[in-house]
Amino acid sequence: MKNLEAIEKRRTFGIISHPDAGKTTLTEKLLLFGGAIQTAGAVKNNKIKKTATSDFMEIEKQRGISVATSVMAFGYNGKQINILDTPGHKDFAEDTFRTLTAVDSVILVIDCANGVEEQTKKLMEVCRMRKTPVIIFINKMDRDGKDPFELLDELEKTLDIKVRPLTWPIGMGDRFQGVYNIYQKGLNLFAANKTKISNEIISISDINDPALNELVGDMPAAELREELEIIEAVYDAFNRENYLAGDVAPVFFGSAVNNFGVKELLDTFCEISPSPRGRETDKRNVEPTDDNFSGFVFKIHANLDPKHRDRIAFLRVVSGKFERNTFYQHVRLNKKMKFANPTSFMAQDKSVIDDAYPGDVIGLYDTGNFKIGDTLTEGEIMMYKGIPSFSPEIFMELENLDPMKSKQLEKGIRQLIDEGVAQLFIQQPGNRKIVGTVGQLQFEVISHRLINEYGANCRFVPRNYFKACWVTTENKEQLESFKRAKGNHLAIDKDENLVFLAETTFLLSMAEKDYPDITLHKTSEFMLELSDK
């Protein structure tokens, strides 16, 4: 088993949440406790002008939200930690879903006042479908919110997963004083500090130590002891195997903005979370300990550094060892490629690396060879599964407002589409560009980036389509009939696949009924199925 020591050291996880639950703030504080940064910018504190470390695109800084997945790596307690901070906004859910294919576990952030929200449920469904281990961090305990026991019941009921608290809050809102570490059986009290790690006030290892009463008061101390007794009586003892199987979610409480409960979360995460896991391909299951290198591209980002107009493919290493300046097989293009400057990330800051191991996420400079879902290997012909495109929900036609900038517009929209921020459908005659997204905010992001990164002035005009469906059939005669009848509603996607743009549910169901030999796919997963045949 090659590279076993390097594999065991790595922890690659995603941070997910409903918008405004404090996900990006928690990411910063994990970096702070991990020593990767020295000062955190409180995201919503105007006194601190520095923006969140992981939100680096200009529009993210203006809107105060994450609209793209950020990758950050640092060392902590002998482990190599790889964090993927995902967009919380539902309009960018597809980027989050793709990112979940590249992680081995997840930290789900919940706002203690709002509890489980709509986006939280959808993200949890994806984790459950993939049996991804989940740790839950209940945030903002420095504000008044729901009762902790009520929150635990809500998590079990709405997310359909067993929970087990591993830390417990001492009070809430104005009365919040810190957390008790159930897993380590200890208590650390901190002074609130939004930007730096504050010095510990005191550590208590025995819950019955009278010093606890002196520090937090008689009533809070009595409440804490009583609640811990209830927890031990009601919840099963924590079992790591059940967590790794995705059957139970450990729960932590805290206030990320004030650094409460973050160290307890990070320390326990390093101890219980999974090392890199294998992945399914169209040929076999690949394990991290396999000798030969392989990996897949789950994200592409153009102009990470606008000054250099670069384009980077984010690759998750699945097996073997990736080495700089070594030729690897690009399976889809059937060609050998080598990379002189592979990088690791700290948000937008990059450093060149010589090698990488399973679990690592590396950046490969790209001139247009990669698409999301591409596989690199040492020669084996196989493709990793599970990175589909979904049918968009909103469709708009892209109109050029400056004919002198047509080339810039063409280049810009193609590069942004390759990143997966939206989908592009070309209609004839006229080479009309229909852009499809899952949310309105994506059009704002595309417009902003086209004008600021490519100098292409454009506008989006709404088009009345309900669903984009990829068309496949072995009945050529029926396909020709379908093309004649539906010509005005057909388009070609960026990979030259035929797509039917249905205007209503009724017209879609009628097309399926009238052309029984034609399959209308709601996701692009069918392309992998075709490659198996």
Check if the beta carbon of residue 333 is closer than 8 Å to that of residue 317: no
* CA distance linking residue 18 with residue 388, whole number of Å: 22
Helix-then-strand count for the chain, H and E: 15, 31
Q: pLDDT band for 511, please (50, 70, 90 cuts).
A: very high
Q: In this predicted structure, what is the pLDDT of residue 233?
A: 95
Both structure tokens of 480: 């020709």
Q: pLDDT band for 196, please (50, 70, 90 cuts).
A: low
> To 5 degrees, how large is the angle CA 313–CA 318–CA 319?
125
User: β-strand 79-85 against 10-17: which pairing, if any?
Assistant: parallel
CATH class label, 394-532: alpha beta
Q: In this predicted structure, what is the pLDDT of residue 248?
A: 97
pLDDT in tens, 21-68: 888 889 888 888 887 766 655 333 333 333 444 444 454 444 444 434
Check if the beta carbon of residue 456 is closer than 8 Å to that of residue 441: no
Q: In this predicted structure, what is the pLDDT of residue 477?
A: 95
The mean pLDDT value for 78-83 works out to: 92
301 against 332, higher pLDDT: 332
Check if the beta carbon of residue 331 is closer than 8 Å to that of residue 377: yes
pLDDT in tens, 375-406: 999 999 999 986 666 678 899 999 999 999 99
Q: In this predicted structure, what is the pLDDT of residue 316?
A: 95
Q: In this predicted structure, what is the pLDDT of residue 39?
A: 60
* CA distance linking residue 533 with residue 525, whole number of Å: 14
Q: Which of 115, 191, 185, 98 is nearest to 153 (CA)?
A: 115
The mean pLDDT value for 14-23 works out to: 86
Q: In this predicted structure, what is the pLDDT of residue 38?
A: 61
Both structure tokens of 441: 């905010």
Superfamily of domain 4-272: P-loop containing nucleotide triphosphate hydrolases (3.40.50.300)
For 54, list phi and psi in degrees, rounded to 5.
-85, -10
Residues 6+ apart with CB under 8 A from 327: 336, 337, 338
Residues 6+ apart with CB under 8 A from 511: 482, 486, 500, 502, 518, 520
pLDDT over 60 (residue 528): no
Q: pLDDT band for 151, please (50, 70, 90 cuts).
A: very high
The mean pLDDT value for 330-359 works out to: 86
pLDDT over 90 (residue 3): no
* CA distance linking residue 348 with residue 279, whole number of Å: 27
Using a 10 angstrom Cβ sphere, with 0-12 exposed, 13-18 middle and 19 or more buried, the burial of residue 335 is exposed
pLDDT over 60 (residue 370): yes
Q: How far is CA 211 from CA 167, 175, 203, 205, 512, in A?
A: 19, 18, 10, 11, 72
Q: In this predicted structure, what is the pLDDT of residue 305?
A: 53
Q: Which of 60-74, 486-500, 515-529 has the lowest mean pLDDT?
A: 60-74
pLDDT over 90 (residue 293): yes
74 against 224, higher pLDDT: 224
523 against 167, higher pLDDT: 167
Q: pLDDT band for 419, please (50, 70, 90 cuts).
A: confident
| 4-272 and 279-377, same CATH topology | yes
Q: In this predicted structure, what is the pLDDT of residue 367?
A: 83
Check if the beta carbon of residue 463 is closer than 8 Å to that of residue 397: yes
Within 10 Å of residue 446's Cβ, how many Cβ atoms? 22
* CA distance linking residue 425 with residue 520, whole number of Å: 16
Mean residue pLDDT of the chain comes to 85
Whether this prediction's pTM lies above 0.95 is answered by no
Third-level CATH fold of 279-377 = Rossmann fold (3.40.50)
Distance, CA of 21 to chain centre: 15
Q: pLDDT band for 272, please (50, 70, 90 cuts).
A: very high
Q: How far is CA 287 from CA 198, 292, 307, 327, in A?
A: 41, 10, 39, 21
Q: In this predicted structure, what is the pLDDT of residue 65?
A: 41
Domain ranges of the chain: 4-272, 279-377, 394-532
